[in-house]
Structure 1
Amino acid sequence: MELIKKNKAVLKFLGIFFGSYLIFTIAYNYYLTNFSSQTYYPEIITHVVTLQSQELIEAFGYTTKSIKSLNDPSMRLGVNGQYLVRIVEGCNAISVMILFMAFILAFKTTWKKTLLYILAGLAIIYALNIVRIALLTIALYEYPQYEHFLHGTVFPAIIYGVVFLLWFIWIKNFKPKK
């Protein structure tokens, strides 16, 4: 009992973090199971992420196109007629956003500050993900020999690095000192 009292803050953090992570993950899996679409294939979030990535690639001056994949629930995205990437559900950054939100909620301060920071963080992660997909697609077009390094190391390090930075900023600047 003394051990529980001594570590109450840690146990509270772990309970809120894992509890909210579990709730968000269950809700997201429910969404994936029940909201697939032929109009917005494979589901609306991944579809919109693909279209926005395509628009950003075009803003960089490349000709691009996206199509539904016939082999799996994904969108194919290409540059100059060459389909280079598959945008699957895991590419839409929702799982990263869930991880981000669970951590911020576990270290919550006032509800207003917490929710505003979560919304700002989600917007940053979402925008960064669009940039990540666009730059990865262009990089694979220009430097296909670096596919595994770019997809497996560089771009995950960027998105998870930004999430870590957002966590650090939250703890350092917004969490009340005790």
Structure 2
Amino acid sequence: MDKQERKRLLKVFVVRAVALYALWLVVYYGFIQPEGSLNAWLTNLVIQGTVIGLDLLGYETSGEGSLIYIDNQPVVLVADACNGLELFALYAGFLLCFPGPIRYKAFFIPIGIGVVFLVNVLREIVLSLNYKFFQQTFEFNHKYTYVFVVYGVVFLIWRYWLNRYSAIAKN
């Protein structure tokens, strides 16, 4: 790929990214709304997945409202900001902005969102156990460790798609 083609692909990416970001803001704040039913539904889905996972590990678990309980002790509050919606949009937006065949994007976007959802549920499971058994490390792990892991998974999926199916991979 020559320098001119790289510049063109970069321009396409930047223009698409700016347009998609503007569209996301309009859709999110205008229709979905931060306190809307989609966020509530997704947060509840994350809580249900976390409770199921903890139950499978043998813990007495429940979810009430936004809280997850282990042995009747509240361990994690799953806020709407932690439900993964914005991360799904970021992941999908990257694939949509980068030049490449739409058929691969149509396949990889839902698969990737599913993987990110499962990783987020695993994150909540581990955070719940972290709080129950090692409260002193909870804040650090919540703020840094688990965020790094989730974004790392997203980056690896992006990288795989970029190297395998994007317009760059073809050149």
TM category, shorter: 0.7 to 0.9
| Alignment length (residue pairs) | 165
Pick the aligned partner of 2:166 from 154, 157, 175. Answer: 175
- Equivalent position of 2:33 in the other structure: 32
Pick the aligned partner of 1:83 from 74, 89, 93. Answer: 74
What's the secondary structure of 1:7's corresponding residue? helix
Distance 2:56 2:5 in 1: 56
Choose 17-26 or 84-93, whichever is displaced more: 17-26
- After superposition, residues 41-60 of structure 1 pair within 5 angstroms as 43-60=40-57
Query: CA offsets per residue over residues 78-105 of structure 1, 9 Å max, x none?
Result: 1111101111111111111111111111
Pick the aligned partner of 1:119 from 110, 113, 116. Answer: 110
1:142 corresponds to 2:137: no
Distance 2:23 2:79 in 1: 22
Contact 2:92 2:109 in 1 (8 A): yes
Distance 1:5 1:164, change over 3 A: closer
Distance 1:34 1:142 in 2: 32
Contact 1:18 1:102 in 2 (8 A): no
- Equivalent position of 2:19 in the other structure: 19
Distance 1:6 1:165 in 2: 22
Q: Report the TM-score when normalising by structure 1.
A: 0.84
Query: CA offsets per residue over residues 127-156 of structure 1, 9 Å max, x none?
Result: 111111111111111111101221011100
- Mark the runs of 5 or more structure 1 residues left unpaired by the alignment: 69-74
Distance 1:64 1:168, change over 3 A: same
Contact 1:13 1:106 in 2 (8 A): yes
Pick the aligned partner of 1:162 from 134, 143, 153. Answer: 153
Calculate the aligned-residue CA RMSD, in Å.
Answer: 2.2
Distance 1:57 1:6, change over 3 A: closer
What's the secondary structure of 1:43's corresponding residue? helix
- Runs of 4+ in structure 1 off by over 6 angstroms are none
Distance 1:5 1:132 in 2: 40
- Equivalent position of 1:67 in the other structure: 64
Q: Report the TM-score when normalising by structure 2.
A: 0.87
Distance 2:137 2:5 in 1: 52
